[in-house]
Structure formats: structure tokens, C-alpha cells
Amino acid sequence: MVLHLDMDYFFAQVEERENPRFKGVPLVVGADPKKGKGRGVVSTCNYEARKFGIHSGMAISKAYEACPEAIYLPVNMELYSRVSENIFRIIEKVSEKYEKVSLDEAYIDLSGLAENYKQAERIGCDLKKLIFKKEKLTCSVGIGENKMIAKIASEEDKPDGLKVVKAGDALKFISQKSIREIPGIGPKTEKKLEIILEKSGLKIKDLRAISKKQLVDVLGKRGEEIYKNVRGEDDSEIDLKTKTKSIGKEITFDQDTLDPEKIISTFKNLSQRVAGMAKTEERPIKTVVVTCRFENFNTYSRQVSFKPRKPTKGLIYKKGAKLLLKLLAKKLKPVRLLGIRVIFDESDKE
């Protein structure tokens, strides 16, 4: 059995916890829509904002059009990373057999912990209560025979939900779900499948009419996975060794700029934020990567590798600034976007 834990509207919920006056009103975490042309996207938003059609990945300008009275906050990644670290410490008290998918999402292997679904549900309830007690945050939990079923189940009763899908009920449970709820199926794959069946708005049950050969012919190896997925099967295992390979941040300027003071101060701030995020991994870094996009949308990346060292803000900024200055000197064009990323040393030796 597998338990999938997903923190509810994580960034926005953390902001509500830190500032109770934000509760009950539309709250959007992302870029500032009032500056320049409102570039950037929505990172996440609370459920009050979702009532206006706002969602993650939406252009911030569109979000502002939909709800100009919402509260718009910048992403505070250092804060969210600290909270995430606390949450995973709580998870480790329940089980060390888990896979960290992101700051706010994890799969937990319940083998050896639960002999039946009733015990699994109790573990899920206890985990939710512990997280709320320690962090004052809600999460949604799904429990199923495999990762896919558990993930779809966790979406069933958001926010603050808990859904258990027993092995014998899995096929019935997913039949009426949209095919987009199968992890990994995006709009392009959806379109290809709709063409095969000459039908839109496909449900998972509809895909069972497509043979494995047809799926493989159109989607390659991914077709074999989907053939199993629509039958409630998922062979993917919980990766207990999963570690973040890299961490980075980028920012799109409100207006393209050649102002060296603005560029450098922004880059320094990005470096500090990346350093704060990297420290939570408690691993050395071996590479710094800098990305710069200019007004003509041409994007360039440069990187430097070195002997693995602790990810201090001084080290990251110093290494990154040298790369950035070389890019700026060579291109001499207004900058649209800046980004910096660090790559961890996978040997874990300092």
C-alpha cells in the first residue's frame, strides 16, 4: 500500500498562517501584477482566488484581470523551504520509507506499517493531525495499492481530505476520472488520444477501448504505461533514494533593463534565496549555473564546476556573478530574465 501526501495550496496556506488577515480573501502567490506589464505567473493561490478561475501557471496579468482585488504576494522560497523541512521531519517520524516529490508532496511506503486499509487510514489520519498540530497547516492524503491510485485519491477531497481506495475498488474509482488525472498525461498527449478515439473530454474508462499496440504506435514506450494505468495498474516504485539534483530560482523583470545596479542587486537576491533553499538539503554543491534572457528572447546559460563545497550565499554569488558579468559584457542588450541554479554533488562527500 502507498500513501500520497499533498499539502493544500502550500505557498498560499503558509502565507495565511503567517498573516491570519489573509484568510478568507483571495490570495495569489507569484509575480506582482501591478508593476510593468505584469510579467510572470501564478505560483499558487488559495481557494478563494480559485473561485475567480485563477490557477497555478496562469499568467499573472490574467489573474489580475480576473480578480484585481486579490492580495498578490511574492514567492518567499526561504520560508516555504523551512516549513517543508519541518513537514518532512514529521513524515520521517511516521516512516523513513518515503519519496520526496517536491517541497509539498511525498509518497510513503506503508508496507510493514499497515496490514490492512483500516490501519492505513489510521496512519493517514494521525499524520494529518500531527502536521496540523506542529505546523498549523492542512494536507490531503490518498491511500491506494500503488502510487497512481494514491495520487488520484489525494485529489478527491481537497482541501484537508483523506481518501482510501481499496485494491478491489481501484478500477471503478478511476473509471469516471478525466484522463488528465493520470500522472504524466498533459495536453499534447490528451490531444493525440482524442484523435485516436475521435472524441473529446475523455474519461479514463474510454482509453480501455484502445489496444496496447495503438497506444505504443502513437506514444511509444509511454503507451505501454498508459495501457496499464487506465486499468488501475502502476509498476513505478517508491524511490527511497530520491534526492534533489539541483535547486534554482529565476526572475523576469517588469521591464527589460540595462541598469547594472538593478541587475546586480536582483542577482544577489536570487543567489541568497538559492543558498537558503540549498542549505535545507544539507549537501555540498559542485556547480553553479547562470541563465540570462535578453530583450530579443535569446537565452544563454553558463556554468562553472568546482570541488564540492557547502552552499553558502557568498560562494554562490561569487561564482555566479563572474559568469553573469561575462554574459552581460558580451551581449550588451537589455536583460529580460535572470536565473541561477546550483547542482549538488551526488557523491555526498565534502
Contacts for 19 with CB less than 8 Å, ≥ 6 apart:
none
Distance CA(210)–CA(271), nearest Å, equals 49
Within 8 A by CB and 6+ apart from 270, the residues are 249, 250, 251, 338, 339, 340
- Decide if 105 is catalytic: yes
CA 135, CA 129: separation in Å to the nearest integer? 10
Cα–Cα separations (whole angstroms), residue 287 to 16, 246, 249, 335, 343:
35, 9, 15, 23, 5
Cβ-in-10-Å burial (0-12, 13-18, 19+) of 151 comes to: buried
Separation CA 256–CA 337 (nearest Å): 8
Which residue in 105, 190, 233, 295 is the catalytic one? 105
- Asked whether the beta carbons of 329 and 263 are under 8 A apart, the reply is no
Cell reading at 215: 497506444
- CA pair distance 150, 170, nearest whole angstrom: 10
DSSP 52-64: TT--TT-BHHHHH
Contact 23, 164 (CB under 8 A): no
Ramachandran quadrant class, 59 (left: phi over 0; alpha: psi -120 to 50; beta: rest): beta
- Residue 74: is the preceding peptide bond cis (ω within 30°)? no
Q: Which long-range contacts (CB under 8 A, 24 or more apart) does 219-226 make?
A: 219/189, 219/192, 222/184, 222/189, 225/184, 226/182, 226/185, 226/189
Q: DSSP label at 207?
A: G
Catalytic residues: 105
